[in-house]
Amino acid sequence: MGTQSRVVENVPKGIYVAGEWRDASGGGGFWVEDPGTSKRLCQVADGQAEDAASALDAAVDAQTEWAATPPRERGEILRRAWQLMTDRVDDLAMLMTLEMGKSLAESRTEVTYAAEFLRWFSEEAVRIEGRYAEAPAGGSRLLTMKQPVGPCLLITPWNFPLAMGTRKIGPAVAAGCTMVVKPAQLTPLSMLQLAELLAEAGLPPGVLNVVPSSSAGKTVGPLMSDRRLRKVSFTGSTPVGKSLMEQAAQNLLRVSMELGGNAPFLVFGDADLDAAVDGAVIAKMRNNGESCVAANRFHVAEDVAEEFAAKLAEQLGAMKVGHGAEEGTQVGPLIDGDQRDKVTELVDDAVGKGATVATGGSAAAGDGYFFTPTVLTEVPESARILSEEVFGPVAPVTTFGSEEQALALANGTEFGLVAYVYTQDLRRALRVAEGLQTGMVGLNTGMVSNAAAPFGGVKASGFGREGGVEGIAEYLSTKYVAVSMG
Ligand code: NAP
């Protein structure tokens, strides 16, 4: 059996509840497709509301004992899971490439990045601290302790099938929370494989439960109003995030929201242009452009814009497009036909309004959902691509005159996840970084993601932070104890 069929064959395909793999109630399943061939890979149990309820029952049952498990033990389970992921990077990467499309090299990078969250939070598990203080008026003492929030619902998107999971699961496990995970319908396999791996690393039954489903709203809706649930952490689109916020309000759940982006990439006239082009390729093309931190629009100083666009077009035009599992592929397919159609629509809209195609510009023919890496220049302000998340390998380039204009363009969006800035002037770099309305800034770099850093946005990109020392705080409550010394 080849590696591709073996990794698909080996994935558990059920609902994972209380340490056991079950069929879905009703016995149904849904198909998972390879976006590089548009052919079916396998079927997965189609979780229903009853399955989500059983998963929450299991999480609630496990919560007290799990919270009392020594932090070092929780940390060591995460550390073992990091090791297992690291040992199995090739198989995990192949599975991810098959269900999501990105190149094997990119999948390996994601597996490593995803595993890093487990290692990072294995180290944070033993650093959960409280405070002890004398009351300002003297007499009593003020004691604070951190406790796990309780059972959590973790909902993840398809674009990073493992990393968007581990940056929630890692801190939840470290904090002593139990959880129900709802992976994306398009890419459930990596998460199911991770559940098995975490069990092998020693995670007790009931701490992590996984419910794949083809009807997200119907399946997790009832959980959102279940008073035993204490938190929801969501990564996905802004409209779904808003709807979950409304539901969370009724149950007063703790909420973390990692939502959409529309990242500006600013290149000033004093930038190292070659470095800016290299950074732009990373910020644009990582994950086929299907990343919330993907540079969505390039605003370049007038005097260097032509050269920047020409160099970017040369690099993007030379990238090898193909099935993610093929040797040498740099750009894989988009996730599905809808996504390819949306990218096509945004490019056509821009071109229709006067943009010039410097390279690419259209979907590729044949099986799979491919779109050619594209650079558009002279993109008019009215083009939808400048205000909507494109989620594909398309780089629209526009120009600016002054620093003020650059900042105004960058901030002229409802989103605020990340911005990239290329300049060699330190004072300008800091001024612009301070002025950007985003949760993160890449300064002379096209890559901000790091398990040790707080990832998250402002405005319509959501709130809450994943990774860094901030990441575990999302899963902890502060309890204050007033101590009488009288
Ligand atoms: P999505 O449609 O919002 O889906 C995300 C997850 O929510 C999936 O598991 C989905 O299930 C589930 N879902 C959909 N409707 C739901 C409902 N009514 N109730 C509960 N769950 C529901 O987003 P996507 O298309 O998968 O992901 C792309 C988006 O994610 C982009 O906007 C991107 O910017 C954002 N993103 C943000 C970050 C960040 O950290 N800020 C990171 C990565 C991606 P189904 O799969 O079954 O629909």
Q: Ligand 1, from 224, 237, 334, 346: best to mutate by most atoms within 8 Å of Cβ?
A: 237
Is the pLDDT reported for residue 382 higher than 80? yes
- Domains belonging to the chain, first-starting first, are 3-259+461-481 (3.40.605.10), 263-450 (3.40.309.10)
- 3-state class of 97 per DSSP? helix
In short, whether 216's Cβ falls inside 6 Å of ligand 1 is yes
Is the pLDDT reported for residue 163 higher than 90? yes
Q: What letter does residue 354 receive in the DSSP assignment?
A: T
122-155 pLDDT, tens digit each: 999 999 999 999 999 999 999 999 999 999 999 9
CA nearest to 256, candidates 445, 100, 16, 457: 457
* Distance from Cα 188 to the centre of ligand 1, integer Å: 13
Compute the average pLDDT of residues 216-228: 97
3-44 pLDDT, tens digit each: 999 999 999 999 999 999 999 999 999 999 999 999 999 999
Could you confirm whether 292 is annotated as catalytic?
yes
- Sequential DSSP letters for 44-67: EE---HHHHHHHHHHHHHHHHHHH
* Distance from Cα 286 to the centre of ligand 1, integer Å: 18
pLDDT at 366: 80
405 residue type, one letter? Q
Whole-model pTM: value is: 0.97
Q: Determine how β-strand 141-148 pairs with β-strand 131-134.
A: antiparallel
Percent over 90 (pLDDT), the chain: 98
In short, whether 418's Cβ falls inside 6 Å of ligand 1 is no
Compute the average pLDDT of residues 181-189: 98
329-373 pLDDT, tens digit each: 999 999 999 999 999 999 999 999 999 999 999 998 888 999 999
Compute the average pLDDT of residues 260-270: 98
Q: Ligand 1, from 102, 233, 240: best to mutate by most atoms within 8 Å of Cβ?
A: 240
Compute the average pLDDT of residues 398-404: 98
In short, whether 235's Cβ falls inside 6 Å of ligand 1 is yes
Could you confirm whether 258 is annotated as catalytic?
yes
* Integer Cα distance of 163 and 455 in angstroms: 12
Mean pLDDT of the chain: 97
pLDDT at 365: 81
Is the pLDDT reported for residue 1 higher than 80? no
Compute the average pLDDT of residues 152-170: 98
- Sequential DSSP letters for 106-162: HHHHHHHHHHHHHHHHHHHGGG---EEEE-TTSSSEEEEEEEE--SEEEE--SSSTT
Residue 415 · residue 457 · CB < 8 Å: yes
